[in-house]
């Protein structure tokens, strides 16, 4: 195995050396050009119908990517809706806390020293301590809502981008499917035209058939001429045929000399 590898390396080195010796610095350009020529020649030999099928398969292979994109969009929609609900609930809680804080603040500004909340009595110091805790928590909650709102905007932006991407993918897929259908229709039309153009007609057979028809017409013309020359119009209705009547010379003479019947004719 090692020996074969050495032979391969040595052979490659010899070829590289010979190529550099023959083509000089342009050896790389020659190699690239030769590679491109080979690829083009191989591609030219691939049938068009095979390439059309390959294009259809490539379009069909887009389906998994489209499904993954749809899955990502569905997850993002859930995340956006969940965050929207969290922000809405936080804002409602903050509104209630704000009302409670202003109630406590109002009590602290009063002259009373004891306060009753939910059947329990609190001093001013307890109210002040509770209000401070509420205020600190309110500020934290406000910052959290601001941060979640920014996150929500980013997620909504990403969701819109993925939706647009999905729409573009679906639209492109449909357009390519239509183009492939058009390609198949054109391919069938071209194949039909090639089939007709590749039909080989035996010209010698056609010539012999024409010559035979011409000879037959000539033979029939000769036969018709012979029949006309012999006066044999066979198969015709004898319209012009008349029976020759015997000549009545006496009657002709009487008519000519205006002789009445029974009179003696005197010669003058």
Question: 41 and 64, same structural domain?
Answer: no
Distance CA 203, CA 212 (A): 14
Please say if the pLDDT value at position 1 is more than 90. Answer: no
Question: 100 and 19, same structural domain?
Answer: no
Question: 78 and 35, same structural domain?
Answer: no
Strands (E), the chain: 114-117, 120-123
Provide the number of structural domains found in the chain.
Answer: 2
In this predicted model, what pLDDT tens digit does every residue of 24-82 receive, in sequence order?
555 555 455 545 554 555 455 567 778 888 888 888 888 998 999 999 999 999 999 99
- Conformational region of residue 264, where left means phi above 0, alpha means psi within -120 to 50, and beta covers everything else: beta
Closest CA to 80 of 164, 166, 152, 157: 152
Distance CA 59, CA 56 (A): 5
- Summarize the confidence of residues 136-154 as an average pLDDT: 95
Question: 111 and 147, same structural domain?
Answer: yes
Closest CA to 123 of 113, 112, 133: 113
What is the overall mean pLDDT for the chain? 78
Question: 30 and 99, same structural domain?
Answer: no
- State the sign of the Cα–Cα–Cα–Cα dihedral 159, 164, 170, 172: negative
Q: Does some domain include residue 247?
A: no
Give the up-direction half-sphere exposure of residue 36: CA atoms within 13 A in the CB hemisphere.
Answer: 6
Question: 76 and 177, same structural domain?
Answer: yes
Question: 165 and 80, same structural domain?
Answer: yes
Question: 89 and 65, same structural domain?
Answer: yes
Question: 34 and 151, same structural domain?
Answer: no
Query: How far is Cα of residue 209 from the mean position of the Cα atoms in its chain?
Result: 48
Distance CA 65, CA 71 (A): 10
Residues 184, 52 contacting (CB under 8 angstroms) = yes
Domain boundary, last residue among 138, 168, 192:
192
Partners of 117 in the beta sheet?
120
pLDDT of amino acid 30: 46
Q: Does some domain include residue 217?
A: no
- Which pTM value belongs to this model? 0.52
Partners of 114 in the beta sheet?
123
pLDDT of amino acid 50: 82
Q: Does some domain include residue 219?
A: no
CA-angle at 43, arms to 41 and 46, nearest 5°: 115
Please say if the pLDDT value at position 244 is more than 70. Answer: no
Q: Does some domain include residue 241?
A: no
Question: 89 and 27, same structural domain?
Answer: no
Distance CA 222, CA 214 (A): 13
Question: Where in the sequence is the domain holding 89, given as residue range(s)?
Answer: 59-192
Question: 158 and 96, same structural domain?
Answer: yes
In this predicted model, what pLDDT tens digit does every residue of 157-174 receive, in sequence order?
999 999 999 999 999 999
In this predicted model, what pLDDT tens digit does every residue of 213-223 receive, in sequence order?
888 888 888 87
């Amino acid at each position: 195995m090692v020996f074969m590898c050495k032979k391969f390396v040595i052979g490659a080195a010899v070829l590289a050396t010979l190529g550099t010796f023959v083509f000089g610095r342009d050896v790389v350009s020659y190699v690239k050009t030769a590679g491109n020529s080979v690829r083009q020649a191989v591609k030219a030999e691939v049938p068009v119908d095979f390439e059309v099928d390959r294009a259809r398969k490539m379009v069909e292979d887009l389906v998994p990517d489209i499904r993954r994109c749809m899955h990502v969009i569905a997850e993002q929609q859930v995340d956006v809706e969940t965050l929207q609900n969290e922000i809405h609930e936080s804002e409602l809680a903050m509104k209630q806390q704000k009302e409670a804080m202003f109630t406590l603040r109002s009590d602290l500004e009063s002259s009373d020293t004891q306060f009753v909340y939910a059947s329990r009595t609190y001093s001013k110091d307890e109210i002040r301590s509770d209000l401070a805790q509420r205020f600190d928590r309110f500020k934290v909650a406000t910052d959290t809502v601001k941060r979640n709102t920014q996150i929500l905007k980013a997620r909504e932006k990403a969701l819109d981008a993925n939706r647009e991407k999905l729409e573009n993918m679906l639209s492109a897929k449909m357009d390519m499917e239509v183009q492939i259908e058009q390609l198949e229709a054109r391919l069938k039309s071209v194949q039909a035209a090639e089939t007709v153009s590749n039909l080989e007609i035996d010209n010698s057979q056609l010539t012999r058939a024409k010559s035979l028809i011409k000879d037959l017409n000539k033979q029939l013309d000769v036969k018709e001429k012979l029949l006309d020359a012999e006066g044999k119009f066979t198969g015709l209705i004898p319209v012009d045929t008349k029976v020759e009547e015997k000549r009545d010379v006496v009657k002709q003479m009487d008519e000519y000399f205006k002789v009445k019947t029974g009179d003696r004719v005197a010669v003058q």
